Amino acid sequence: MLPQSQHLELEQDGSWLTVWFNEPERRNPLTNARVDALLDLCAALPNAPIQGVTFRGRGGIFCAGGDLKSFKSSFDGPASQDDIVRLSLRAADLFDAVAALPQFTVMAVEGAAMAGGLGLTCIGDMIVASEGTRFSLSETRIGLTPAQIAPFVVTRLGMPAARRLMLTGATVDVQEAKRLGLVDQIVAPEEMDNAIEEVQAMIRSTAPQAMATIKRQLNEMPFQTREQQRQMAAKSFAERLLSDEAKEGISAFLNKRKPNWAGG
């Protein structure tokens, strides 16, 4: 059973979960409560029979990033620097948790993805954006820094493009975002549902545990020596080759039938 929260709406269709940010009147910010709800969800997902997760915002807006009202209360109220450090590390926990999900993640971006919302976008395995969507790392325009999302932006875009967007706070349209590698696919607004269904069909043909294994390898690869990479690859490949999934997948291929993935 997945944890329920008033700060997220969950829609499950078989092995696929859609996570809706549900505060469009405020541009779906990453409030403290929403971050907590997402962390609870991410903690439950590795043990859930879910193969893919779509993150999406209600009201035609993806996510405006951090909660500016909460930020204002920090300097208007009694919050100390240590309190703010803990708040920042909580955001880091969220980005790390989404990045570590074993499921295939789709960021369905509509309207705008700003600041932390753009950072969250960068973590997705696939990013589908609607025409007219805008992207911005706007922190420097209000005296802040995109600190915790910086590693994920650099991983997605590379250092030159990430530096330009983070330092200038510039807003880019969806065509420029695709040119930079931030967006994988652009669709008309009315075609977003169909585009997500096509991704679901593609992912449902893949082996869930094989996908989880390669995601884990890709996440750890940048922090490993070449020898560690070799050893992890050899071990994971051996485990996969001896797995029930591989037996089913190879048998299905040789017998020209669709594989029957457990949990798929």
Q: Has 245 been annotated as catalytic? A: no
Q: How many residues does the chain have?
A: 264
Q: Which of the residues 139, 220, 239, 248 is marked catalytic?
A: 139
Nearest to 122 by CA among 147, 95, 141, 101: 95
Contact predicate 121/180, CB 8 Å: no
Burial 213-230 (b: 16+ CB within 10 A, else e): bebebeeeeeeeeeeeee
User: Would you list the DSSP string of 69-132?
Assistant: HHHHHHHHSS--HHHHHHHHHHHHHHHHHHHT-SSEEEEEE-SEEETHHHHHHHHSSEEEEETT
Supply the residues annotated as catalytic. Answer: 139
